[in-house]
């Protein structure tokens, strides 16, 4: 059996039309109230569902293996066949003791909560090699717990005591004690402090040295290094933009910044152009210009552009949006329903966020605040296609992959890449983030007046209730901001606190 990528955006209207006719065939259109009621009344059943049960709510790509088989076998194709064989028993409900009429099990919330709490405790000796990544463990676990509805403010004191010694005198946070500052671990630390909340936590950050350190990372070509003398890539652009906008740092560059000699005057000067140069011939986004496109870099690029200006202006200004949509939609595979991170790679649960999290930003780019944003003809065609279904990918396909294949239903708990992999904090965080994104609808309702203002974009979120819902309502997770990947109220709280500061 071979999994298939969904056709790209050139064929998107055909898919939308086919999907709509299947969904409405022989049944009246569902209302939001009737769907909500049905989600609470569906009894659990023991027998696996038939394909007829799945077909109305899932496009045929996700219930049947491809009838077309390539006669040329390669190690890559054999691994793909193995992945499909591995996933199918989970996708059809055969591997789950309890599931609803669509073959979808419940989200085992309590088990995943216990798993994340354990990850925040004392870890085995084997984790010693992960010491430079300690802030990431804080962020993954705290963000995951928040998505599951847990209050993480009780970790505030422990987090502050742990990360304060990791802040270096020259600015930024290291991954462990006595190590050099790095943008990735600084990003994770700032988000973790925002998650636990409170002025005491926010004040752990030395904003003056943070600004000086970021100025030293700003490069003559417009991008950011991850560390002084380190690699320059799209992660740096996104992490720096998040830190600057959450902490309300000055945009002016210090005179000794390496970027000043090239004529840059601000931290965001030339950044959008540099990100735009990372878009590849495929339409995706690479780590830096000239290398392979990757799903995580696509999210970092869109997130960065959505910070330096409102997404309906900045994304269209710096990216070829139709090509990007084509590449992103090609990342969803059938019959699995999950996303891959690169061309000809396997599905992986973490791309539920890295690719799935791109769609709210793409939709904001296409629609703008309150309606379609003006743009080139290719963008307008994508807008019309999106308006037909108000969705640019199969939400139910991704939901089924997450709940069926990514949950570790053993005593261990947590979420994972795919059934053959172990759960971990990284996948638990990003699979839940992807689930949140696909279960909700984000809309940009107001835009900042111009790009010189970092705040002013207003986002609204509501449960996504269009079409037939294949998960039970009790399995809906909490929301997370489409740009910052922490709850929206936590973004507002930290931004308002630092906006009230007149100086460092």
- C-alpha 153, offset from chain centre: 23
CB atoms within 10 A of CB 299: 26
Q: Is 475 a catalytic residue?
A: no
| Mean pLDDT score, 83-110 | 90
**16: confidence class by pLDDT, cuts 50, 70, 90:** very low
- Would the pLDDT of 19 be above 60? no
Give me the pLDDT at residue 127, please: 86
Instruction: For residue 73, give both structure tokens.
Output: 């076998």
Q: Of residues 374 and 306, which shows the higher confidence score?
A: 306
Give me the pLDDT at residue 346, please: 96
Q: Of residues 187 and 25, which shows the higher confidence score?
A: 187
**467: confidence class by pLDDT, cuts 50, 70, 90:** confident
Residue found under tokens 């005591």: 161
Among candidate residues 401, 335, 467, the one with its CA nearest the CA of residue 39: 467
Q: Of residues 461 and 39, which shows the higher confidence score?
A: 461
Give me the pLDDT at residue 109, please: 97
Among candidate residues 2, 5, 103, the one with its CA nearest the CA of residue 337: 5
Q: Among 108, 348, 408, 472, which one carries the catalytic annotation?
A: 348
- Would the pLDDT of 504 be above 50? yes
| Mean pLDDT score, 358-381 | 77
Q: Among 345, 421, 448, 476, which one carries the catalytic annotation?
A: 345
Please say whether the beta carbons of 106 and 394 come within 8 A.
no
Give me the pLDDT at residue 502, please: 77
CA–CA gap between residue 284 and residue 67 (Å, rounded): 28
Instruction: For residue 234, give both structure tokens.
Output: 């799209």
3-state SS, residue 422: coil
9-23, 169-183, 454-468, 477-491: least confident range: 9-23
CA–CA gap between residue 63 and residue 52 (Å, rounded): 9
CA–CA gap between residue 117 and residue 340 (Å, rounded): 29
- Would the pLDDT of 234 be above 70? yes
Q: Please list, in sequence order, all residues whose beta carbon lies within 8 angstroms of the beta carbon of residue 109, skipping any fewer than 6 positions away.
A: 148, 149, 475
Cα within 13 Å of Cα(322), Cβ side: 15
3-state SS, residue 43: coil
Q: Among 23, 96, 264, 294, which one carries the catalytic annotation?
A: 294
Q: Among 53, 206, 417, 472, which one carries the catalytic annotation?
A: 417
Please say whether the beta carbons of 224 and 183 come within 8 A.
yes
Q: Among 187, 238, 351, 484, which one carries the catalytic annotation?
A: 351
Q: Is 404 a catalytic residue?
A: no
Q: Among 350, 391, 404, 406, which one carries the catalytic annotation?
A: 350
Helices (H), 259-294: 271-276
Instruction: For residue 163, give both structure tokens.
Output: 């990360």
30-44, 119-133, 413-427: least confident range: 30-44
**498: confidence class by pLDDT, cuts 50, 70, 90:** very high
Give me the pLDDT at residue 451, please: 81
57-61, 358-362, 481-485: least confident range: 57-61
Q: Is 417 a catalytic residue?
A: yes
Q: Among 9, 96, 182, 427, which one carries the catalytic annotation?
A: 427
47-51, 61-65, 160-164, 368-372: least confident range: 47-51
CA–CA gap between residue 449 and residue 77 (Å, rounded): 50
Instruction: For residue 243, give both structure tokens.
Output: 């830190």
Q: Is 350 a catalytic residue?
A: yes
SS (H, E, C) 200-239: HHHCCCCHHHHHHHHHHHECCCCCEECCCCCCECHHHHHH
Please say whether the beta carbons of 190 and 242 come within 8 A.
yes
Q: Among 342, 421, 448, 476, which one carries the catalytic annotation?
A: 342
- Strands 333-334 and 440-446: what pairing? unpaired
| Interval 43-73: pLDDT, tens | 444 565 555 566 566 766 777 777 777 888 9
**13: confidence class by pLDDT, cuts 50, 70, 90:** very low
3-state SS, residue 460: strand
SS3 content of the chain, % helix, strand, coil (to 5): 50, 10, 45
- Would the pLDDT of 169 be above 70? yes
Give me the pLDDT at residue 61, please: 74
**26: confidence class by pLDDT, cuts 50, 70, 90:** very low
Give me the pLDDT at residue 285, please: 98
**386: confidence class by pLDDT, cuts 50, 70, 90:** very low
Q: What is the mean pLDDT of the chain?
A: 87
Q: Is 96 a catalytic residue?
A: no
| Interval 424-452: pLDDT, tens | 999 999 999 999 999 999 999 999 988 87
| Interval 279-325: pLDDT, tens | 999 999 999 999 999 999 999 999 999 999 999 999 999 999 999 99
Give me the pLDDT at residue 35, please: 35
Q: Is 53 a catalytic residue?
A: no
Q: Is 345 a catalytic residue?
A: yes
- Would the pLDDT of 143 be above 60? yes
| Interval 173-202: pLDDT, tens | 999 999 999 999 999 999 999 999 999 999
């Amino acid at each position: 059996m071979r999994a298939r990528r969904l056709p790209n955006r050139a064929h998107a209207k055909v898919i939308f039309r086919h999907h709509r006719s299947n969904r409405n065939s022989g049944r009246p259109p569902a209302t939001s109230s009737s769907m909500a009621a049905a989600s609470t009344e569906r009894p659990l059943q023991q027998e696996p569902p038939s394909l007829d049960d799945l077909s109305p709510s899932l496009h045929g790509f996700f219930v049947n293996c491809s009838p077309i088989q390539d006669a040329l076998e390669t190690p890559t194709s054999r691994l793909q066949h193995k992945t499909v064989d591995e996933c199918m028993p989970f996708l059809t409900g055969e591997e789950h003791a309890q599931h609803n009429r669509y073959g979808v099990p419940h989200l085992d919330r309590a088990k995943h909560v216990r798993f994340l709490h354990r990850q925040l405790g004392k870890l085995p000796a084997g984790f010693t090699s992960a010491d430079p990544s300690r802030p990431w463990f804080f962020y993954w676990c705290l963000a995951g717990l928040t998505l599951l509805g847990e209050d993480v403010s009780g970790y505030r004191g422990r987090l502050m005591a742990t990360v304060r010694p990791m802040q270096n005198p020259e600015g930024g946070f290291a991954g462990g004690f006595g190590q050099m500052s790095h943008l990735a671990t600084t990003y994770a630390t700032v988000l973790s402090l925002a998650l636990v909340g409170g002025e005491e936590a926010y004040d752990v950050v030395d904003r003056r040295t943070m600004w000086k350190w970021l100025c030293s990372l700003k490069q003559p070509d417009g991008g950011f290094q991850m560390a002084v003398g380190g690699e320059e890539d799209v992660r740096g652009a996104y992490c720096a933009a998040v830190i600057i906008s959450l902490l309300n740092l000055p945009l002016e560059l210090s005179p000794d910044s390496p970027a000043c000699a090239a004529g840059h005057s601000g931290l965001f000067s030339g950044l959008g152009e540099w990100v735009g140069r990372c878009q590849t011939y495929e339409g995706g986004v690479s780590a830096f210009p000239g290398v392979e496109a990757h799903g995580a870099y696509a999210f970092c690029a869109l997130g960065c552009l959505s910070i330096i200006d409102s997404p309906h202006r900045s994304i269209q200004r710096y990216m070829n949006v139709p090509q990007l949509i084509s590449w992103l939609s090609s990342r969803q595979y059938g019959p699995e329903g999950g996303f891959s991170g690169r061309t000809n790679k396997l599905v992986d649960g973490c791309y539920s966020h890295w690719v799935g999290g791109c769609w709210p930003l793409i939709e904001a780019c296409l629609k703008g605040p309150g309606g379609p944003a003006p743009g080139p003809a290719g963008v307008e065609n994508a807008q019309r296609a999106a308006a037909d279904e108000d969705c640019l990918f199969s939400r139910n396909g991704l939901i089924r992959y997450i709940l069926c294949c990514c949950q570790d239903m053993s005593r261990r708990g947590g979420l994972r890449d795919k059934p053959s992999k172990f759960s971990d904090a990284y996948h638990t965080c990003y699979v839940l983030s992807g689930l949140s994104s696909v279960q909700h609808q984000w809309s940009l309702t107001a835009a900042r007046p111009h790009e010189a203002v970092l705040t002013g974009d207003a986002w609204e979120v509501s449960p996504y209730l269009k079409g037939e819902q294949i998960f039970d309502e009790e399995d809906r997770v909490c929301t997370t901001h489409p740009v910052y990947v922490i709850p929206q109220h936590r973004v507002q709280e930290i931004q308002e606190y630092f906006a009230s500061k007149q100086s460092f």
